[in-house]
Amino acid sequence: MIEARYHDSVNVLQALTASGTPAPFDRAEWFALLAETGLVPLVAIASDADETAALALTETGGRIRPLRNWYSFTWRELAPPWPSGDRLLEAIARQLKCRGWRVTLEPVPGEDGSADRLARAFRAAGWWVAVEPCDINHILPVCGRSFAQYWESRPGPLRSTFKRKASKVETQVLTRFDAEVWADYETIYAASWKPAEDQPAMLRAFAEAEGEAGRLRLGIARAEGMAVAAQAWTVENSIAYIHKLEHLESHKPLSAGTTLTAALFRHVIDIDHVALVDFGTGDQSYKADWMEEVRPRFRIDCLDPAAPRAWAPLAKRFVR
């Protein structure tokens, strides 16, 4: 018999994710950091004998969404991969009708089957489901290449910029958290054209934890001793994740960001020997210079046809 239940604490995910997860955004520690920002967890769990599945969610006014923020590259189910996991997810989807009238899940990956699996579970539970692309993910499959081999395949203008500007800055890649380097990163970000960092304390706490675990790759570029570019990557399960890239606009002619990015690519390819580099979400044009493939990210929008509040959006969906 399947038992479905809810929790308002992410601590229940510890046992579920302790044996290893596909990405940093699937770990209980990641969800705990999100909860500390003020998001209220709604952890939906279903168990049957020794198997358990969970969805880390949050709910407001009957609208259920993933427990995530814009730092999250992906969001997906936490469930066994075999058919029993599908049954557990269906049980969760059915139980969620007691908590809300609309469930919108994004950005869900498709390459691992998560988008199809979640859509199938919610349809089986009686939700009316629409699936559509909501973002893209630039990636680099390394395919066993060295950095030198990879670099030879980069666009000519990128390689030319690096050749002309690389000697103008000094780069360093740290595999631990360094408070002074992080302060440099925050100074650079504060001087950039970007809006204020959404959750700077969360980002720092994540970097500290990843540094403690040996997964952090913290890059800094200096010109005449002054920090002009900084980047935060992590490496896990043979995948390098590019989280943050910043440079000083006042020193843009130095192309320090290009030089530092190349240094980090060299490190993760030649030293960490990753199989894949993940540039997160977003269709910024510069990403195509570094990456070679694009994967879609999906929005799975589920409406409960028995809930009166769902009828208007359902009508709009049919018209569209």
Name the more confident of 2 and 124: 124
Do residues 163 and 269 both lie within one domain?
Answer: yes
Q: Is residue 284 part of a domain?
A: no
The pLDDT tens digits for 50-102 are 899 999 999 999 999 999 999 999 999 999 988 989 999 999 999 999 999 99
| Residue partners of 180: CB distance under 8 A and separation at least 6 | none
- Return d(Cα 186, Cα 77) in angstroms, integer: 33
One domain, residues 126 and 147: no
CATH number of the domain residue 212 falls in: 3.40.630.30
Would you state the pLDDT for residue 17? 66
229 and 265, same structural domain? yes
Question: What pLDDT, on a 0 to 100 scale, did the predictor assign at position 90?
Answer: 97
Position 307 confidence tier, pLDDT thresholds 50, 70, 90:
very high
Quick one: 130 and 245 in the same domain? Answer: no
User: In this predicted model, what pLDDT tens digit does every residue of 217-227 receive, in sequence order?
Assistant: 999 999 999 99
Q: What is the Cβ-side half-sphere exposure of residue 215, based on CA atoms within 13 angstroms?
A: 18
pLDDT value at residue 195: 78
Q: Are residues 238 and 172 in the same domain?
A: yes
- Residue 235 bridge partners (DSSP): 240
Report pLDDT for 20: 66
Cα separation of 11 and 16, whole Å? 10
Q: What is the pLDDT of residue 198?
A: 83
- Domain-embedded: residue 289: no
For the residues 16-27, what does the mean pLDDT come to?
79
pLDDT at 160: 97
Strand partners, 136: 296
Q: Which helix (H) or strand (E) holds 3?
A: strand 3-7
Give the integer Cα–Cα distance in Å for 252 and 23.
Answer: 33
Residue 223: per-residue pLDDT:
97
Residues 289 and 160: their CA atoms lie apart, in Å, by 12
Q: Write down the residue that tokens 């570094």 correspond to.
A: 290
How large is the average pLDDT for residues 159-185? 97
* Domain match, 150 and 227 both: yes
User: How many domains does one find in the chain?
Assistant: 2
In this predicted structure, the answer to whether residue 213 has a pLDDT above a threshold of 90 is yes
- pLDDT band, residue 15 (cuts 50/70/90): confident
Among left, alpha and beta (phi > 0; psi -120 to 50; other), residue 144 is left
**Domain check: are 23 and 117 in the same one?**
yes
Q: Tokens 């709009």 appear where?
A: 316
Q: What is the pLDDT of residue 206?
A: 98
- pLDDT(18) > 70: no
Domain coverage including residue 254: 143-274
| Same structural domain, 101 and 149 | no
Q: Which residues of 225-263 are buried (b: 16+ CB within 10 A; e: fewer)?
A: eebbbbbbbbbbeebbbbbbbbbbeebeebbbbbbbbbb
- pLDDT tens sequence across 248-282: 999 999 999 999 999 999 999 999 999 999 999 99
Mean pLDDT of 232-236: 97
Q: Two tokens at 159?
A: 């390689």
CATH code, domain carrying 13: 3.40.630
Residue 299 CB neighbour total at 10 angstroms: 16
